[in-house]
Each structure stands twice: as C-alpha cells, then as structure tokens.
Amino acid sequence: TIEELLKRYEAGERNFAGIYLWYTDEVFNNVNLSEINLRGASFRDFGFYSLPGVILSRADLSDVFLDRQMLEGANFSGANLSNVCLSQSNLRNSNLSGCNLSGSDLYNTCFWGANLREANLTKANMESVWLDGVKLSNVNLTRAINVCLEGVIYDNTIMPDGSFRSS
C-alpha cells in the first residue's frame, strides 16, 4: 500500500522498482518522494485523486503506468519519466523542468500552467495533449508523434522535424 511505501521511504529506503500499488481512496497531498526509484511500478486502479502536489524531483519513474492520475501541482523536476503512461492525467501547474518524458504516452494529458522548461519529449505520443498557454523553453520534441501545438509559446524549441522554433 502507499502507506507502507511512505513508512519505508521515511526510514531511508529509496528503491521500490517494480512495486505494485493498488487502489486507495486516501488523498496524499504534497507527499515528498524525491529521488525515489519507482522504475516499472504500477499504479493501476490507484485512485484518481491520490497524489496532488506530490514531490518526485529527481525520481526514476521510467516504464511506470500512471494513467488517469490527479497530479496537479506535482514536482517532477529532473525526473526520469521515459516510457511512462500518463494518459488522461492532470498535470496542471506542475513542475516538469528538466524532465525526461521521451517515449511517453501523454494522450489527453492536461499540462495547463505546467513548467516544461528543458523537458525531453522525444518520441512522446502527444495526441490530444492540453498545452494551451504553456511556454516550451528549450524543449526537445524530436520525432514526437500526434503533436498539436496550438496556443503554445516557443523559446528555442526543437520541433518534431528537428527544426528550431521561437515565438
């Protein structure tokens, strides 16, 4: 359970690779899990409103299934989110600066107000992603698929075709 994970984390453990966390109806606001290793973990049926404001800076969440999660205001700065499934998640006002999202499934994910500065979105599935008003500063979109970037502000952004764009 998430409660057990939090106790082990507080005791100094950081490697939880491959863990399966099942449904909870608890809400864990602003939980700090910086530098945790959750590579390959599963949060299926975890509960949509479980982790608003979670702090996962410099965490390894590669190959994690995190769809339909409420992660509004979360801090993923410097985190490895490569090949993660975040489809239909809410990341409004979240910090994803320096985050590796390469190969991730971001279908219908909301990033309104998010900080994506220096994020790597190479080969990410960006179908129906909500980016209105988001500034893509030094973001890499090389070979990202299904990209619709209406309402986005560009600043030295590498586009899917490899070209650079600034607004």
Share of the chain above pLDDT 90, in %: 67
In this prediction, residues 76-93 reach a mean pLDDT of 96
Give the percent of the chain with pLDDT over 70: 92
Helix (H, G, I), strand (E, B) or coil at 73: coil
Would you give the distance in Å from CA 41 to the centre of its chain? 14
Mean local confidence (pLDDT), 62-81: 92
Q: Please tell me the predicted confidence (pLDDT) of residue 2.
A: 78
pLDDT score, position 1:
76
| Residue 8, H or E segment | helix 2-10
Q: Is the dihedral of CA 45, 10, 55, 127 positive or negative?
A: negative
pLDDT in the model for residue 133: 82
Question: How high is the pLDDT of residue 80?
Answer: 98
**C-beta of residue 98 within 8 angstroms of C-beta of residue 118:** yes
Question: Which tokens go with 162?
Answer: 């490899």
Burial class (CB in 10 A: 0-12, 13-18, 19+), 159: middle
pTM: predicted TM-score of the whole model, two decimal places: 0.91
| Res 23 pLDDT > 70 | no
DSSP 101-149: -TT-B-TT-B-TT-B-TT-B-TT-B-TT-B-TT-EEES-B-TT-BS---
